[in-house]
Chain A
């Protein structure tokens, strides 16, 4: 019996990817990234910038609400970017450089679908839509993916719809389009993955405690790159666990783990 839970492990793993160069903002229903950004800021990355919901600069919220675009996340901010125009040019110029997204489907190149399962016109499942994914996958130099459903339905060879751009069709695609960066990492309920520097395909970086490489391969619907011995994802320290529970006292992050 460990003294941390899976959601805390995922938050910690995502937070460990954030450094002082992160100038991030968050989208809708982004409970895990918001917790991770606050944790990183409270621990190893005090210089990190976080703009809540693209609106409230450097806030100190008391808790994480049901809507991560809502005012309940704006407490003690230094500024409200009150119009869309206050925000977008910073994302376009790179002053703001980081964004996290999750998808119902994610492919080997880190492209993401949050729009439809099935045909677009008569979908089997109509999802909420990409929102700003199609924008921020292009504009942000640093993109982080997360998923709390690491299984072959989420990690697929081919997306039904590309809502957000990762490395596109593979090596060179972003460069051809004149776009910087691309996805850094993908953190899931089973593992942490990054992207191979030449093939741009997803590569296993660490397996969560108690999860085997074989299990991760089986849960991934495309050929996952596995090189050498795969380390274990470091579990959260007691201090990290304490901070996560303090920063997210209503357990908003757990909402993402209750879905099938």
Chain B
């Protein structure tokens, strides 16, 4: 089999240069490209502009790896397992710059980039403090013709987007089982370069046998990484669930600097920022 677009995790991490804008897929405790995050931490990537619409552990790991300069976010949470501890500390101490938007205005920014238009209009965000803090990204506009107010969400084009999926072939055809793509779709369509980490590499014939189940076409994907259990500790439904015991252990360790450094070194990589 020709390697095609197949690269290993460490090589893929090298495709993310210092200072670039990186968008990560996943939704809260579901299917984030965690093995890739860990590779970025090991590689010591710095000064990223991280774009995470609804995330938790992925953002926390990259902050711990000292990788993040600026974060564009809608929500960063461990839900029932509490607040993401490093995100919280880094924001409170000013160690990273945080730009908060909303889920839908971020989706609109990505859709504008995909469509090649300067902005996407929406009624989302009107009357809130999530718009107007960075008017170059989101601002309220009155449409003179209709008299309607809307929020203009400026195109946001990530340099690199990384998502995790179940299967791909070496050409970059990607399948999710079942097809659960949430806003990974917007990331793939908006980003200049797309990396997909997958549980399994499969033959192209299996895509031809069931094209209705494909999530992304080869022409939209630049690199494929074979990363079994690559979403851990988030879940990769229906193959494995989020690892609740790890979330709880991570949260408990975050109260003790030494225990946390050990846990981080064992499961993620070198801890470069913990705020303690």
Contacts and interface: CB of A to CB of B under 8 A. Distances in A.
A67 B83 contact: no
A135 B102 contact: yes
A69 B186 contact: no
B74 interface: yes
Interface string B66-89: 000000011111011101100111
Interface in A32-49: none
B104 A67 contact: no
B75 A131 contact: yes
B153 to A, nearest CB: 11
Nearest to B146: A178
A37 B241 CA distance: 24
Contacts, number: 178
B75 A82 contact: no
A135 B124 contact: yes
Interface stretch (B9-17, B42-50, B125-133, B219-227): B125-133
B103 A131 contact: yes
A134 B28 contact: no
B39 interface: no
A125 B80 contact: no
Interface residues of B, number: 59
B75 A71 contact: no
B60 to A, nearest CB: 12
Contact of B77 (A29, A122, A177, A255): A29
A115 B77 CA distance: 11
Contact of B79 (A67, A121, A178): A67
A137 B100 CA distance: 16
B29 interface: yes
Interface in A100-149: 115-116, 120-135, 137-139
Contacts of B130: 115, 130, 134, 162-163
Given A92-B123, A135-B124, A178-B123, A67 B102 contact: no
A70 B242 contact: yes
A70 B123 contact: no
B80 A255 contact: yes
A164 interface: yes
Given A66-B81, A133-B102, A83 B182 contact: yes
For A128, A130, A255, the residue with the greatest tally of chain B CB atoms inside 10 Å of its CB is A128
Contact of A132 (B76, B84, B104, B178): B104
For B27, B88, B103, the residue with the greatest tally of chain A CB atoms inside 10 Å of its CB is B103
9 contacts: A82-B178, A83-B182, A92-B123, A115-B129, A126-B87, A130-B102, A132-B104, A134-B130, A138-B123
Interface of A: 28-29, 31, 55, 65-72, 80, 82-85, 88, 92, 115-116, 120-135, 137-139, 161-165, 168, 173-174, 176-179, 252, 255
Given A82-B178, A134-B128, A162-B128, 11 more contacts: A70-B29, A71-B235, A71-B241, A120-B129, A126-B98, A129-B75, A130-B100, A135-B124, A165-B126, A168-B127, A252-B80
